[in-house]
Chains A and B, each alone.
Chain A
Amino acid sequence: MEILVLAEHRRGELREISLEMLSKAKEIADKTSGEITAVLLGQGVKDFADTLANYANKVLLIEDPKLENFNAEAYQKVLSALIKERNPAMVMIGHTAFGMDLAPALAVELDLPLATDCMDLEIDGDSVFAIRQVYSGKVNVKVSFSGAKKCMVTMRASACQIAEDMKLGGAIETVDSPLTEDIDYKIFSGYEEAAAGEVDITQADILVGVGRGIGDPDNIPMIEELAEAIGGVVSCSRPVVDKKWLPKDRQVGTSGKTVKPKLYLAVGISGAFQHLAGMNGSDLIVAINKDPKAPIFAAAQYGIVADLFKVVPALKDKINELKGA
Chain B
Amino acid sequence: MDIIVCVKRVPDTSEADVKIDGSGKNIDLEDLTFDINEWDNYAIEEAILIKEKVGGTVTAITMGPEESNEVLRRCMAKGADAAIRLTDDAFEGSDGYAIARILHSAIKDLSFDAVFLGAQAGDDGYGVVGPMLAEMLGLPHATLITKVDLEDGKVKVHRELEGGLEEVVDINLPAVLGIQTGINEPRYVSIMGIRKVAKKEIPVKGLADIGLSADDVGEAGSKTKIECMYIPEVGEVAEMIEGSPDEAAAKLAQILKEKGLMG
A residues near B, CB below 8 A?
Answer: 10, 69-73, 96-98, 100-105, 107-109, 112-117, 129-130, 132-146, 148, 157, 184-194, 206, 212, 230-232, 238-239, 241-244, 248, 251, 254-258, 262-263, 270, 284-287, 290-291, 293, 295, 297-298, 300-307, 310-311, 314-315, 317-319, 321-323
Contact = CB atoms under 8 A, between A and B. Distances in A.
6 contacts: A100-B144, A113-B224, A285-B238, A298-B236, A303-B239, A315-B253
A314 B244 CA distance: 11
B262 A129 contact: no
Interface range on chain B: under 10, 10 to 19, 20 to 34, or 35 or more?
Answer: 35 or more
A114 B128 contact: yes
Contacts of A290: 15
A319 B253 contact: yes
Contacts of A104: 96, 127-132, 135
A257 B164 contact: yes
Interface in B213-255: 222-232, 234-241, 245-246, 248-250, 252-255
Contacts of A311: 245, 248-249
A311 B241 CA distance: 12
B127 A116 contact: yes
A318 B253 contact: yes
A236 B86 CA distance: 38
Contact of B125 (A102, A134, A322): A134
A118 B261 CA distance: 37
B248 A206 contact: no
B196 interface: no
Interface string B119-162: 10011111111111011100011111000000000001011111
A296 to B, nearest CB: 8
B253 A302 contact: no
A305 B161 CA distance: 34
B259 interface: yes
A96 B162 contact: yes
Contacts of B238: 285-287, 297-298, 300-303
B128 A255 contact: no
Given A238-B181, A287-B238, A315-B249, A258 B163 contact: yes
Given A117-B126, A187-B170, A238-B182, A304 B13 contact: no
A290 B160 CA distance: 31
Contacts of B255: 302
B263 A206 contact: yes
A116 B124 CA distance: 10
